[in-house]
Chain A
Amino acid sequence: MNRTHHRHRVPGTFLAAALAALLVAATGCSSKADGDSGSDSADGVKSGPGVTAKTIKLGALTDLTGPYATLGKSIVQAQQLWADETNAAGGICDRKVEIVVKDHGYDVQKAVTAYADLSPDVVALPQVIGSPVVAALLDDIERDHLLTFPQAWAASLLGKDSVQVMGTTYDVDMITAVDFLTRTKGLAKGDSIGHVYFEGDYGANALEGSTWAAEKAGLKIVPQKIKATDTDLTAQVSALSKAGVKAVLISAGPAQTASLVGVAASRGLKVPVVSSAPGYAPQLLKTPAAPALLGLLNVVSAAPAVSSDLPGVQKMVAAYGKKYPASPVDSGVLSGYNAAQLLGADLKKACAAGSLAREDVVKAHRGQKSVDTGLGSPQDFSDVPRPAALSTYVLKPDAKAVGGLVGVEDAHEAPGVTEYLAGRS
């Protein structure tokens, strides 16, 4: 479409010729811009956009200058670590792996432009940061069959062939949280639980899970919706203590978790608090709320703590610390590295099946029924509308641990999760 546009606007023969030359060059560069007619290379492996005889190009749409800059940096570095390790071990399909990183600064418009720029030249996206970004790109990603691992866990991202949420979704985590509260914190039938949540996909999905689980357990959820700009949760805490809640769930950002727990503790509302994974960051242990967080908070997460004794995690943490000694090791490092490893497994499988064309990479990915990268629960990618894993970890803050979290309960499937998913689909 754009091309015809340009032609209309460019009058001179010379310019037209230059444009034509450019187009030829452009198609030449990306081997074949349309993925349908992939070419066979010397080794008989069918290739497609982003794949040449020597390299496999992957893309990352990340945030290096916006609100999630810390997370973005962790993931970019972790995936680069994976690429370096993979290349040192001979690459994938006898090709070197290369990751092209584009920064969108958490700006959806910039991200859409960056995607248009990047997508013709890569075979998959091991990193896309930002729920609104992913939501804006969903249709394009599906159309382009570009296997994508978003850094978001809302159930609304399930059901897309080319988009893979890693591990559990927010609702499943919250079902685990409610189970954890009733099992270990003495909540009983008739009690109320507060749930403070962000407006949007993330909060809505978490609330869906908590509401279902609470109803199942005979508990009542007291919802409190907030926005990302709300950082003083005094009013919410008053409302929750008025409602007499025995525990609080929170699905928001780290700032909100700190305010909630700090205010609650200072007003004598000393109840257990369980946060969704994005609601915690190790920096919180430097705020005035640190003592309260250490005493009251638990975190439910699809991924284990970075301080976990899983050999795969320990190996990765050691390698990361060696390569980037100045960078903190946080949960972003783990999930970024895990996404890259999962994609690596898909690419190897696709190669073995004889094609690195995008559709075939997606097909290889969807054929994986139980992948274990050694970085957490094994995942099943074959059922598109179902979360890749149903087991959630329960963690808690610890100032001395790497990444500021330690494990409390190993990954386990909470009772009712299967029933919940059956009811939803």
Chain B
Amino acid sequence: MTAFLDSILTGLALGAVYALVALGFVVIFKASGVLNFAHGSLLLFGGYLVAVLHDDLGFAGALAVSVLATAALAGALDRLLLQRGDPDPKAAHVQTIVTIGVDIVLLTDLSRRIGGDLLTLGDPWGDSVTRLGSVTVADSRLAAIAVSALAIGAVFALFRYTSWGLSLRAAAEDTEAAALMGVRLSRVRMLAWCLAGALAALAAVFLAAFPAPGLERTTGQIALKAFPAAILGGLTSPPGALAGSLLIGLTEALAAGYQSELHVLGEGFGDVAPYAVMVAVLLVRPTGLFGARGAARV
């Protein structure tokens, strides 16, 4: 039972962090129709900034700077690079491919800077743990759950109660009509990218915190695990991204926690499990858990 609860908590914490990343994918996709393949490097960029700045600015200061800088970088990427191309929304796939190029450039530079090092982020949780009955959880994990819940709640509130949120939803629904109604598409888009960047920087902190030893060159790749989460949720639905992320986190933790019982499925099944779940869900619901049904034109 303890082991089960243990896996559940680990899974929830993982899912909460994935949700920060998956939400970024979804917000960007909703606003611009682009699948951002550079998300992992944006995340690494955010983490790297915290790592190099925390000595001088303290953890909170470094985190604030990093969140703002990553948001600015993501926004600039959209405004200065992607929006310069063909304005036709159908050209989104071209921009998607541009993000692959951006990813390579960013990742190459960051890898060069990080090299083989393990960078600590100076987070306040260190390796402390909390005992909840028979289960032990790392404080950084509890913080991840709490902070993710707050951040995700804030994003949902933004969607629902601000004019930007309304514009974004309108633009996602029908770009042309939204533009005609006076929605400033390019600004809505850029803000969406900024938001996604900020969330990625936040996620980086928790991906590098205690149970992990620190920020590595490969930390950004972990963000790719949020891909199935976003797709699972339907790619256009923020609640879907949240549900998908929790599902993926739990699947991964349970598959790793019960690896020996799942031995028949082959070792290292934990790595495949998120994708297996994704395929299974998509077989039943091709548009994802909360995905919009594609309009069929006759």
- A and B associate in one complex: yes
A: residues with CB less than 8 A from B are 65-71, 199, 222-236, 238-239, 241-243, 254-255, 258-259, 262-263, 265-268, 281, 283-284, 286-289, 292
Tell me the bound Cα distance from A265 to B136 in angstroms: 11
The 3 closest A-B pairs by CB, nearest first: A235-B256, A258-B213, A225-B268
Which residues in B have their C-beta under 8 angstroms from that of A286?
118, 120
Is B271 interfacial (CB-CB < 8 Å)? yes
In the complex, the answer to whether B118 meets A254 with C-beta atoms within 8 Å is yes
The 30 sampled A-B contact pairs (Cβ below 8 Å) are A69-B115, A70-B116, A223-B267, A227-B271, A231-B222, A232-B207, A232-B212, A235-B10, A235-B256, A236-B256, A236-B259, A238-B3, A238-B7, A239-B256, A239-B257, A239-B258, A241-B3, A242-B2, A242-B257, A258-B214, A259-B211, A259-B212, A266-B210, A268-B136, A283-B118, A286-B120, A287-B213, A288-B120, A288-B127, A289-B213
In the complex, the answer to whether B268 meets A255 with C-beta atoms within 8 Å is no
A253 nearest CB neighbor, chain B only: B216
Contact with A along B234-263 (1 / 0, CB 8 A): 000000000000000000110011111000
13 new A-B contacts at CB < 8 Å, known A239-B258, A262-B211, A287-B120: A67-B217, A224-B259, A231-B218, A235-B257, A238-B7, A238-B10, A238-B256, A239-B260, A266-B129, A267-B136, A288-B120, A288-B210, A292-B127
In the complex, the answer to whether B127 meets A69 with C-beta atoms within 8 Å is no
Is B89 interfacial (CB-CB < 8 Å)? no
Contact with A along B203-223 (1 / 0, CB 8 A): 000010011111011110110
Which residues in B have their C-beta under 8 angstroms from that of A199?
268
Is B138 interfacial (CB-CB < 8 Å)? yes
In the complex, the answer to whether B7 meets A66 with C-beta atoms within 8 Å is no
- Nearest chain B CB to A95's CB is how many angstroms away? 34
Contact of B213 among A223, A235, A284 (CB under 8 A): A284
Residue tally, chain B, CB below 8 Å to A: 43
- A235-B10, A239-B257, A239-B258 in contact; A67/B211 too (CB < 8 A)? no
**A68, A225, A235, A254 pick with most chain B CB within 10 angstroms:** A235
Which residues in A have their C-beta under 8 angstroms from that of B210?
262, 266, 288
Which residues in B have their C-beta under 8 angstroms from that of A262?
127, 210-211, 213
In the complex, the answer to whether A227 meets B268 with C-beta atoms within 8 Å is yes
Contact of B138 among A71, A222, A226, A234 (CB under 8 A): A234
Tell me the bound Cα distance from A66 to B109 in angstroms: 10
Tell me the bound Cα distance from A259 to B210 in angstroms: 8
Which residues of B71-125 are within 8 A (CB) of A? Answer: 111-112, 115-118, 120
Tell me the bound Cα distance from A241 to B257 in angstroms: 10
In the complex, the answer to whether B127 meets A231 with C-beta atoms within 8 Å is no
In the complex, the answer to whether B253 meets A235 with C-beta atoms within 8 Å is yes
Tell me the bound Cα distance from A242 to B134 in angstroms: 13
Tell me the bound Cα distance from A69 to B141 in angstroms: 31
**B128, B211, B217, B257 pick with most chain A CB within 10 angstroms:** B211
Is B58 interfacial (CB-CB < 8 Å)? no
- Nearest chain A CB to B123's CB is how many angstroms away? 9
In the complex, the answer to whether B118 meets A258 with C-beta atoms within 8 Å is yes
A259 nearest CB neighbor, chain B only: B213
Contact of A65 among B112, B221, B270 (CB under 8 A): B112
Which residues in B have their C-beta under 8 angstroms from that of A231?
212-213, 216, 218-219, 222
Tell me the bound Cα distance from A228 to B136 in angstroms: 25
In the complex, the answer to whether A255 meets B253 with C-beta atoms within 8 Å is no
Which residues in B have their C-beta under 8 angstroms from that of A68?
116
In the complex, the answer to whether B138 meets A266 with C-beta atoms within 8 Å is yes
Is B153 interfacial (CB-CB < 8 Å)? no
Which residues in A have their C-beta under 8 angstroms from that of B216?
231, 255
Tell me the bound Cα distance from A71 to B7 in angstroms: 36
Tell me the bound Cα distance from A388 to B32 in angstroms: 59
